[in-house]
Structure 1
Amino acid sequence: MEIVVWSPWIAGLAIGLFVIFHFWLMGKPAGCSTGYGNFCGLIFKKVEYFRVGEYSNLNNSRLWFLIGIPFGGFLSTLSSPEPWHFSFDMGMYDTIFPQTDAGRAIWLILGGALLGFGARLAGACTTGHALVGGAMLNPPSLLAGTIFFVSAFITTRLLFGT
């Protein structure tokens, strides 16, 4: 069975158009980290770190944007010609992750929590800084995007030596 993959330039153009369309439609830049913070704020209501004024309730666009990401992935799996199955198969990361499913789940949850904390601390996630802030030529976002990609490159070199 052949897997159909979008051409990178079409995918990049689609992401760029989405960023522009989102800003035009919502009047705000796209980004997931605020939605993540809002979600955590709904769970941990007493933690000041997660309270963000108008965004601390269910009726905000960034929270719905965050919910839409896994929903879009679910719709994609429904349209896939191959049957969907739950798996912790991580490809090349299998060599560095623990071998048990419980161990992998712990690492993935810990990594996701650290990613969310870091995005909140940096004021935005990679989407907010690199895509939206980069498109607006915002100097702090350009610096943050550069740091994200350089640290990812260095981490990959350290983990895999390639």
Structure 2
Amino acid sequence: MEITVWSGWLAGLAIGLFVILHFWLIGKPAGCSTGYGNVCGYLCKKMSYYHTGEYSQRNNSKLWFLIGIPLGGLLSALGSPEPWHWSFDMGMYDEILPQSSAAKAIWLIFGGMLLGFGARLAGACTTGHALVGGAMMNPPSLLAGAVFFMSAFITTHLLFDL
């Protein structure tokens, strides 16, 4: 099966245009960590932490942005000429992840929880900092983006001995 990918410059241009269009239409920067907080608030109704500020809004645009991410992936898969199926095939990560589907699911859920914690700790997700904050030349966002990429670089080298 041959996979067609966008060239880097075209994908970067599309992401940049999306960030501008989102801000122009919504009036707020793109990002999905607040939407993640909304979902946590719905699931953890007794935790007051998720019921303040933007997290307390029922119709938060970032919640819809968060919902749109998997829906966009699903539409892309449905529009693909190749048949698709649910899979835990993780490519090169299969070398370091456990082999059973249940164990992989636990690791992925744990990783998602760490991602959410880190986004809350940093004040925004990777999208909010690296794409939007970087485009606005926001110094804390530039620093956060540099930390994200450096952490990914070091982690990849530690895991795969590249």
Structure 2 unmatched ranges of 5 or more: none
* Structure 2 counterparts to residues 1-162 of structure 1, below 5 A: 2-162=2-162
Question: Post-superposition, which runs of at least 4 consecutive aligned residues in structure 1 deviate over 3 A?
Answer: none
Q: Report the CA distance shift for 1:2/1:161 in structure 2 as closer, same or farther (over 3 A).
A: closer
Q: Distance in 1 between matches of 2:45 and 2:23?
A: 29
Aligned length in residues: 162
RMSD: 1.1
Q: 1:53 Cα deviation (Å)?
A: 2.2
Q: Distance in 2 between matches of 1:158 and 1:3?
A: 28
Q: 1:127 Cα deviation (Å)?
A: 0.3
After superposition, what is the alpha-carbon deviation per residue over 1:57-116, rounded to whole angstroms, capped at 9, x for unaligned?
Answer: 431101001000000001001100111101101011001100100000000001001101
Amino acid at match of 2:152: A
Q: Contact 2:37–2:50 at 8 Å: present in 1 too?
A: yes
Q: TM-score, normalised by structure 1?
A: 0.96
Q: Distance in 2 between matches of 1:70 and 1:58?
A: 20
Q: Distance in 1 between matches of 2:51 and 2:128?
A: 19
Q: Distance in 2 between matches of 1:67 and 1:58?
A: 14
- For residue 111 of structure 1, give the secondary structure of its aligned residue in structure 2: helix
Q: TM-score, normalised by structure 2?
A: 0.96
